[in-house]
Amino acid sequence: MAKFPEAIARLHQNVFVCKKCKTKIRSNIQKIMLGKISCRRCKSKNFRPIKKGK
> Average pLDDT per run of 10 along the chain, which is 54 residues long?
86 95 96 96 96 79
**Taking a C-beta distance cutoff of 8 angstroms, is the pair 26, 14 a contact?**
yes
Q: How many Å apart are CA 8 and CA 30, to the nearest integer?
A: 21
**Taking a C-beta distance cutoff of 8 angstroms, is the pair 27, 16 a contact?**
yes
- pTM for this predicted structure: 0.84
SS3 content of the chain, % helix, strand, coil (to 5): 25, 20, 55
24-26 and 15-18 strand pairing: antiparallel
Q: How many Å apart are CA 30 and CA 32, to the nearest integer?
A: 5
